[in-house]
Structure 1
């Protein structure tokens, strides 16, 4: 998964038989943490699926698997987050849009001032 995310949505864990494991999904800034109600005790491959909002606004669904074997070392966790931020292209586009908006407001104000001046000149005649 290589897209910046803006908002984690949901995550689920499935056992080797395909049953969803009960757990509490906690959203912590850019992270989804799943606290399982019962500890994992059946060896095999487990599936984790998650849904996030990408920085482009689209919902993205991803998944990964991990294997659990009895007597294996305690997992350290998996960090799947990307920092929030504007890439240089988005930053430049934002600045260009702001400059265009400022120019349009300026032109509107100048045209309005000229129209009022013309109306006053017409009324004085």
Structure 2
């Protein structure tokens, strides 16, 4: 009986410690699995007038007509902030898109629409 109690206590301790580590990882991004963050937003420049968004094929100086389909308020807030500040989104592979286009794309696929390289989530 004493052996079963020791085994149960050890299993319970392992569970509690792993739960605590998981909580810390989710909250603070600590340890080995730290969150991969990337700032996608760049200010619109005159150079961007010559470029079209590869997703909607509308010039980057124009705002696309489509509205983002998302139930996540953080994405809507991020998009509104980007539109107000006249920002574009630049991927780690240096491809530039309208914020609404890339945010909507990234809800489906976390790869670059042009070169298919992996993209970190929007923070």
The verdict on a shared fold, with TM-score over 0.5 as the criterion, is: no
Greater radius of gyration (CA): 1
- In proportion to residue count, which structure has more strand? 1
**TM-score scaled to structure 1, two decimals?**
0.22
Q: Counting helix residues as a fraction of each chain, which structure ranks higher?
A: 2
